[in-house]
């Protein structure tokens, strides 16, 4: 099997993605496919040579994991004014959206959040590849390091 070239940014977006859209990794081409709610799974409409094992579903991060990522970020931030507001956001209704909205009041922290989120999503994408028996290119692996939560 030839090595796959996978767009890690698209994989990160799929992991963070909207649950209304299903994402699949095409194990033949490395392409990440987005499939809308009414569309059939990739390959299921093929008349001949149906290959369901060719398409690996990409499950988005669970809400609890997205929430935990924001909580982890919040504990890295020293701003005494932002912490109570954003902590309340994370324990209230619609915590992800409320947290993101609350960051609008703290531009420097919002910028820090985007960098943190980008780094964590890359770590999650690399973990997803590893969990599915796929290996990132050597240079990418060495630059990314291991996430703090991995053993």
Sequence-distant (≥ 6) Cβ neighbours of residue 12 within 8 angstroms:
118, 121, 122, 124, 125
Give the integer Cα–Cα distance in Å for 65 and 48: 39
- At 62, is the pLDDT very low, low, confident or very high (cuts 50, 70, 90)? confident
Q: What percent of the chain is predicted at pLDDT more than 90? A: 41
Q: What angle do CA 69, 99, 84 make, to 5 degrees?
A: 95
Distance of CA 99 to the CA centre of its chain: 17
Cα(40)–Cα(94) distance, integer angstroms: 30
Q: 44 pLDDT exceeds 80?
A: no
| CA 109 to mean position of chain CA atoms | 20
Instruction: Write down the pLDDT at residue 43.
Output: 63
State what percent of residues in the chain have pLDDT above 70.
77
Query: From the centroid of its chain, how far is CA 118?
Result: 9
Among all chains, which residue has been given the structure tokens 């964590």? 120
Query: Which structure tokens are listed for 41?
Result: 């799974």
Q: What confidence score (pLDDT) does residue 143 get?
A: 46
How much is the average pLDDT of 38-67? 74
Q: What is the pLDDT of residues 111-122, one digit of tens each?
A: 999 999 999 999
């Amino acid at each position: 099997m030839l090595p796959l070239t996978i767009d890690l940014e698209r994989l990160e977006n799929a992991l963070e993605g909207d649950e209304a859209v299903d994402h699949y990794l095409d194990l033949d081409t490395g392409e990440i496919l987005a499939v809308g709610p009414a569309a059939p799974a990739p390959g299921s409409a093929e008349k001949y040579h149906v290959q369901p094992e060719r398409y690996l579903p990409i499950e988005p991060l669970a809400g609890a994991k997205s929430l935990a990522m924001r909580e982890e970020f919040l504990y890295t931030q020293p701003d005494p004014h932002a912490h109570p507001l954003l902590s309340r956001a994370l324990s209230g209704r619609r915590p992800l959206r409320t947290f993101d909205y609350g960051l609008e009041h703290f531009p420097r922290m919002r910028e820090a959040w985007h960098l943190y989120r980008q780094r964590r999503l890359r770590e999650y994408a690399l973990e997803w590849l590893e969990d599915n028996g796929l290996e990132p290119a050597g240079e990418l692996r060495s630059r990314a390091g291991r996430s703090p939560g991995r053993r």
